[in-house]
Chains A and B, each alone.
Chain A
Amino acid sequence: MAIQRRMPRRAVMFAGLATTAATALVLSGCGSSDSGGGSDSGGDVTIEFAQWWEPELPDGEFRALIDKFEEKNPEITVDLVSGPYASTKEQLFAGAASGTMPDVVGLDGAWVNDFASQGVITDLTALMAENDYDDSELASQIKVDDKTYMIPVVNFVYPMFTNDDLLAEAGVDAPPTTREEFADAAEKITALGGDTSGWVLPLSLEAPNGVQNDVMSWVWASGGSMLKDGQPDLTNDDVTSATEFIGDLWDSGVIASGSFTMKEQDKVEEFTNGRVGMMIDSLAHINLIRETNPDLNFSISALPAEEGYEGERGIPYASWGIGVAENSENKDAAFKLVSFLMSEETNSELSTMANAFPGNTNSVPAFVEDDDLFAKAFEIYQAGYPANEFTGLPVAEELMRQLGEQLQSALDGQQSIPDALEKAQASWESEF
């Protein structure tokens, strides 16, 4: 009997202990804001590096590069936090809100303004000065209010891809170099019949980067701009003429159907399957296209410009950028990692494994010498200038989505293109 009475008390104790343990667990989870993990003993530090790069590179190669860094800096251990792009983005925004950002962060140019204005990524201009870092080798720096917050580590450019067999079948001798030639080639390819279309234009609102890569790229290719003094300028002649050109292509039925829900991967699939003659796409997809359809005969060229345009052509690009968290307790160690990745040798190695162009002007990726297509891309890259005006803008992805919505409405015939640009301009202004 006595035992019977003791049992519940033990159970109560157990429940109490479980509660305490659960509380401790929850509190430790909530309180783990010290991502630096710095240790006082012996000066060794562990820094976290969150990025989406490792999963996109061949297995083990990025870790091997980081191992080299650790060999050179035995007092620093790098904890790689790797995930797909979208989850890295969500993780960083959550970390920004809770003050638990990893020490070093992989950044997309589209996030920089939001993070910088929130004060969660550190001013690299100051960090570079503190560490006597010579920034003359850096190809570019992403600034907000004249302070660098992101350094592009490698750049992926977006030239025009052409299916040369389809072009030849349509009687087009060479990839188009002007908008008129492009429209003509697109019409001839579409006229081949079947499922074939001249061009592919992804305008999905889920991932609206088609607005940047496939629409605004026409503006940049002819030296135009969507900004004036850092403010939206969507109604200028350059943007209007490029957008109306796309509207004309739409009206003449040369754009592959399904645009309004098409994403970048759908675009690549259409091209790889030989259903579209031309697309604007990242060099990062060259190997994918070759692996998926080894028989596809394709080449790359600079984006067509307006008739008579002789200046340098802007070529859209996307970067794997890097930054340091403001809440990091080991900023010096973090910056050592940044400067290691930006060094001539490491940057050459990283850009080679990523099939991308280096962020260090002295680095030369090995593929440029080994592969004709990449050599051509490097030529285009050097002849023009990397252009991506969305980089560094506030809520950049939302700006793309707002313009995308207005464009969809215009292409659907619900409003004119100038009206669409005016409405997008108004909604952009409210975001700046």
Chain B
Amino acid sequence: MVDGADTAWVLVCAALVLFMAPGLALFYGGMVRSKHVLAMMAQVFGAAAVVSVLWVLLGHSLAFGPDLHGVVGSLRLAGMAHPDDPVPGFDLHVPSTAFAAFQMMFAVITAALLAGAGADRMRFGSFLVLVGLWVLLVYAPLAHWVFSPNGWLAARGVLDFAGGTVVETNSGASALALALVLGARRGWPREQMAPHSLPLTLVGAGILWFGWLGFNAGSALAVGGLASQALLSTHLAACAGLLGWLLVEKLQTDHPTTLGAASGAVAGLVAITPAAGFVNSLGALAIGFAGGVVSVLAVEQKVRFGYDDSLDVVGVHGVAGVVGTLAVGVFATHTVNAGIAHRGLLDGGGVHLLLLQLLAVVVTIAWAFPVTWLVARGVGRVMPLRVPPEGELEGLDMHSHAESAYDIGGRRVAGRMGA
């Protein structure tokens, strides 16, 4: 039975989640050097297009089609066939197409996150091929395992409200694999690679924050108390994450930075994502704060471990995603969501849920990392993954797109227009 209010809410939330893509483009675009900003944004927009098309053709059916042994969906819904079929396993009061559109936007933003790991060196075409394969081979099965009630992890009682495993831990582990296959940017970490426009990054973070309210509160798939708590928790966690990151920076360097504020808010949002519909407001504050503090400490390890995850997808999304997914096992409570099979540690549920959440984290990493690594190596056998050295030096904007972002005083920073 379709409910008008629920449908309106899910459709609005689908649009909010889509808005995260240009938000991410700005967030990432500001963090790269000026000669790479358009290429960065092109990859995010390109990923949105490729993933949306493939999601309709195959991805949605693999993730949410009729279940095959808890492992993957069948191809019955491929090409959005049978749009009037109910989504297997769910008791939805929204049209299946609204649900499909909402889930499509999740796949879009998750795939787009990978652009951050290959920033400043990955070829545009290779990136699009990679995210296309990745969304079908890595994302869709994971989404089935966790998001579909028929998936083998969900059936065991694993809780993931809006994607701590499928979106965050997955993108972090995949980003690490991609960064390792690609190799470091030329000159990293000796050369200075400071962000070229922190105002862009802050505007992008603000848009992400706004869209994230739809990402998490929309995951209730209905209007009402659960969506309300999820929205409130999401905002609180972002605030706590921002403060946590800045506190660490203040203690370490005496300078709370604007990039830290943006990063901390995102880390808080990441951490609350799996928990938004299971924890109360105080739990959300604790989870967001932990996400911010742990993430800032994690990104500082990048140079020590020697992998060039350019924009810290591993440190921010991967690590905070793990923090949030485990925190569900601590803070999940029946007072917020009576529908959950197991309660968290603090609600008297013992360690059972915590161990289930740990299993989900381990399975997600054990799937995402090697499969992404193989996909990247496979694509690399067919077409170069990286631009040639002179392309990196010249800037990807000019090299890959024959455009330049900025025209300062009539002098183009890079570009061929009019030449």
Physical interaction between A and B = no
Interface residues of A (CB under 8 A from B): none
Interface residues of B (CB under 8 A from A): none
